[in-house]
Every structure is written in C-alpha cells, then in structure tokens.
Chain A
C-alpha cells in the first residue's frame, strides 16, 4: 500500500512540479552590480527578458540613484539582454531598480527589485597592460639615456626638414627680415606642443647668434610662459641676453580663428623670411601656411595631426611628418635625454611591430593566443 502511495506521489510530482515552476518562472531576470575598474561613478544593470515580446511587450524600470527622485525608464522587450549603465558620479551612492512588466492589456506586474551601492577600486585593471608597457618604456628610456650619457654614440638618421633649418635662418638674416615660430595652437597637454618647444630652443639659440628679429605668437597662456622661458634660456645660452625681451613670445589670441587672423595679419605686415609651424594644428593650418607662402617665406612645418599634414605638405617647403617632429628635437639638440628617449621609442616600436606581425600570423593559423593575451582590451 505504502509503495503505491509513494508511486502516486512521485507521479504527481513528476507531472505537476514543472507546471508549478513554469508558473513561477519570472518574465525577466536582472541583477545590478557595481561597474568594476572605476572610481565608483557607475553601476550597471544587466537585464535579460525571459518572456516573449507577445507575453510582456515592455518593462518599466523605476530607478532610484542616491537621493534623486525616481526615474522611470521604459524598456521595450526585444528578446535580447541589455546592459544599462547608471551614472552615480561617486562611490557610496545607493542605487535601487524596481522592475515592472507591462502586460499586453496594459496592466503592470511587479517583478521585484535589486539594489547595490557604488564602490570605487584603487586599481583600474583594464589599464594594467598599458601600465606594464609604460613601465617597460620607462625602463628602456632609463637604459638608453644612461648609455647616451656615458658617451655612446646613438645614431639618428637624417631628417630632411631639419637640414634646411640653418639655411632658412641664414636666409632671414641676410634679408634682414624676421623669423616666425608658431608652436601649434594646442595646450601643454599635447605631446606635439612639448616637442615643438624642444625644437624652439635650438632655433632661438641660432636666431640669437645671428641677431635676427624673432617672433613667437602663441595661443595658449601657459604655453606663452614656457615659450618665454625657453627663448630666454636660448638667448642666454647663445651669449646674447641683451637681445632678449618678453615680447618675443606673446599671446596673440586665445580663440582658433582669431589667432590665425592675428598671426596672418602680422605675417603680411612684418613679412617674415622664415616661418616655423611646428606643433599641434587644427583647421587653421592651411590659413597660416598659405599666408606664410604668400609673403614668400620659407616654411618648415611639422605636426602629428594626420588631418592637417596634407595641407602642410601641399603648402610648405619642408614638412616633418608625425613622429619626425618628436625625433627632430633629439636630432637638433643631441641631448642624451632626448637621444635615449628616441632610441627607447624605436626599440618599443620594434617590439610592438613583432607582436603585431606575430598576431597576424597566429590569426592566419586560427590561433587566438596573442589576440586574447596581449591585444585584448580587457586585462
């Protein structure tokens, strides 16, 4: 008898349990988690609809972030999982999401709520590979700078534009006309500006030696300060501090096109014999290069802005393309620090080129090892 009862209960469970669970299975599953590798400024909601769009066409998300009022967001059921970032701006902010399903008749059904408190991490592991590469680069720089300081000759190939600098300055001196040096129109945050200011030093030294009038119109106030210091040091190094005045490097204007208008006007009036356009440039590049060309100046340009290089190549006599701008300062000054950096840069470039070629070959063979390890954006 007992046996029969057990068999009956077993059969009943076998048939009815799936029905019970089927009735209880939610139309969607969702969870809220703190977005990893940030300072706590974001959490994310992962939402996966389980019911078909016919059963539940839409979901309503009632989102509460900190003490802000509840924000309702409508989510159309496309049958696909969605990851929704929710901005908290800082760590320690409680976030709560209450979910309701909108049934075909328009009625709402509560699907539950999830909450989390945003938290920040000390380390952004997504940047770890870049950090290690950075450390490797710094290590290479220290190694090669050491070698350069010990007097080891580090070869740098000729860069045609730089060979012309002496001739261009000599021409300005002979003609008794000024030299213009435009260190780009960006701020100190730009590597090209830093490279340009490095080239400004040897140019200013040469200009001081030749006693040629010199003008450095600048767009950014901080760059003006640095340019003034660089020019002053260069004049002192050339033994002509008497020729230096603060007005050599000056703030022409702070806007893009008013700056180019002001500099173009100065060029037309002062008719420089040589114009250097080295640094970061934007849409004003052609205006400046064309104006310099129209007054008959020799132009030596260089930028790492690939969108502006074509204009310089078309309008200027010599153009330093991309990285040549960075190499130029090392080439001209022969300072161990810059030479070592350039050598380290080449070595790192070589390592990356090898990784790139290996990645291409491995991909051809259907092996994802390098893509998954070295070139994966996530750590």
Chain B
C-alpha cells in the first residue's frame, strides 16, 4: 500500500515540477503517463469494442442463426477494417471510405438532435421558465413596484435581461451583415458585455473547480500518504 501511495506522490510531484521548468523528472512522468494510457486504451478497445461489439455479438448471432444481424455485423467490421489500408501506400485511398461513412453518419445523425436540443428546446426555455411562466412577465415587474426588494427586483429583471441578452448575442453572430448595419451596431456592445460577463462567471466557477482538484491532491499527500508513511516508519 505504502509503495503505491509513494509512487503516486512522487509522480504527482514530478508533474508539478513542470511549473518550475521542463526537467527529466517531468519527462519521465509524462512518458510513463502517455505509455500507460496508450496500453490501457489498447486493452479497453480490445475488451470493450473488439470483444463486446464484434466478437461476442457475432458468436451470439451465429449460435442463434440470426443471419441478418450476422451480415450487418460482418459488413460493419469489414468497413472498419478498411482503416488499416492506411498502412499500404498502394491501397491507402480505401481508408477514405470508412472515414466518409463515419463523418457522413455523424453529421446526419447530429442534425435532428441538434435542432431539437440546441435550438427548439433552448428557444422555448428562453420564452418561458420551467413552470411554463413567461420570462417577460408583467406581473413580476408590477410586484417589484408594489413591494420593492432585492428578491422582487431579481425576479422582475432576470427574465427580461435573459431575453434581451439572447437577442443581442444572436445578432452579434450574424456573419453576413456588415458591421455598420444599424441592428449590428446597436447589438455589438451589449452582446460583448453579455458574453464577457458569462465567460467571467464561467472562468471563476471552473477555476474554483481546479483549485478543489489541487486541494484534493494536497489532501492525498498530507492526509493520506504522510500519516501512512509515519505509521509505517514508526511501526
């Protein structure tokens, strides 16, 4: 246990040493990491893809005499094997077929899903909230004037700010309209303002996440490895 923990600590320190400068320790850790991951990926591909998606289903289809399934599996496997044609200069061109099939399939597959999730659902979510109430809600604005407080101000302004932000940012991303077009001119500055506020918030949020990862690593070194080391040495 102590040996593995110590190796983990030494490798962590070797990676952190990159903050000082590139050095043999970092190089060693980097090469070890890359080598281990490549080896790991080979095993994952073999067990999770070659065995689970090709060999096992083909055996099941053979056992159950499911001819159509068998044919589709064999065809898909053969198409996949065409990738290996890259190793021969003569038949290298053949490897473009599986690439074109992959790209074509994913592009087509993504169209309807993107329209549904990234466009229609997003637009709907910008017009009404989760409870189906409109984001531009006159009642909420009226509530603020009746009972002015931070909470009612937040409720009254959140929706209109979101709606306005979506409109100006969408206009900002029109590429075939000239910069001096009045609509673009009007939207440019507020759009950048919205974008930068959004990115700033996202930066802070993610940065805190990274700090927590660092704390986790330090926690491992000082609260797990160090006590274990003391305990082992001290008997």
Distance between A222 CB and nearest chain B CB, rounded to angstroms: 6
Distance between A245 CB and nearest chain B CB, rounded to angstroms: 13
- A130-B116 contact, Cβ under 8 Å, with A323-B173, A364-B136: yes
Distance between B79 CB and nearest chain A CB, rounded to angstroms: 13
A371: which of B83, B127, B199 is its contact (CB, 8 Å)?
B127
Residues of A within 8 A of B127 (CB): 356, 359-360, 363, 371, 375
Does A149 sit within 8 A of B, measured CB to CB? Answer: no
Q: Which residues of A258-302 are within 8 A (CB) of B?
A: 258-259, 261-262, 264-265, 268-269, 286
Does A13 sit within 8 A of B, measured CB to CB? Answer: no
Residues of B within 8 A of A229 (CB): 96, 99
B203: which of A131, A225, A311, A342 is its contact (CB, 8 Å)?
A311
Does A113 sit within 8 A of B, measured CB to CB? Answer: no
Residues of A within 8 A of B103 (CB): 188, 194, 226
Complex Cα spacing A252 to B176, Å:
38
Does B174 sit within 8 A of A, measured CB to CB? Answer: yes
B176 touches A157 (CB 8 A): yes
Does B198 sit within 8 A of A, measured CB to CB? Answer: yes
A307 touches B202 (CB 8 A): yes
Does A377 sit within 8 A of B, measured CB to CB? Answer: yes
A371 touches B124 (CB 8 A): yes
Chain B count of residues within 8 A CB distance of the other chain: 63
Distance between A249 CB and nearest chain B CB, rounded to angstroms: 12
B121 touches A377 (CB 8 A): yes
Does A314 sit within 8 A of B, measured CB to CB? Answer: yes
Residues of B within 8 A of A133 (CB): 115, 119-120
Q: Mark A326-349, 1 if CB is under 8 A from B, else 0.
A: 010001000000000011011001
- A225-B95 contact, Cβ under 8 Å, with A191-B110, A327-B175: yes
Complex Cα spacing A311 to B41, Å:
28
Does A239 sit within 8 A of B, measured CB to CB? Answer: no
Does B27 sit within 8 A of A, measured CB to CB? Answer: yes
Mostly, the A contact residues are: helix
A375 touches B116 (CB 8 A): no
- A310-B200 contact, Cβ under 8 Å, with A130-B115, A254-B37: yes
In the complex formed, the residue of B with least CB distance to A353 is: B170
Most buried by A among B38, B166, B198: B38
**Which residues on A are within 8 Å of B, measured CB to CB?**
127, 129-131, 133-134, 137, 154-159, 188-189, 191, 194, 221-222, 225-226, 228-229, 252-255, 257-259, 261-262, 264-265, 268-269, 286, 306-307, 309-311, 313-314, 321-324, 327, 331, 342-343, 345-346, 349-350, 352-353, 355-357, 359-360, 363-364, 371, 374-377
**Which residues on B are within 8 Å of A, measured CB to CB?**
15, 18, 22, 26-27, 29-30, 33-34, 36-38, 40-41, 83, 86, 95-96, 99, 102-103, 106-107, 110-116, 119-121, 123-124, 126-128, 134-136, 138, 163, 166-167, 170-171, 173-179, 195-196, 198-200, 202-203, 206, 210
Q: 8 pairs across A/B with beta carbons < 8 Å?
A: A131-B115, A154-B176, A225-B99, A258-B36, A268-B18, A323-B173, A375-B120, A375-B127
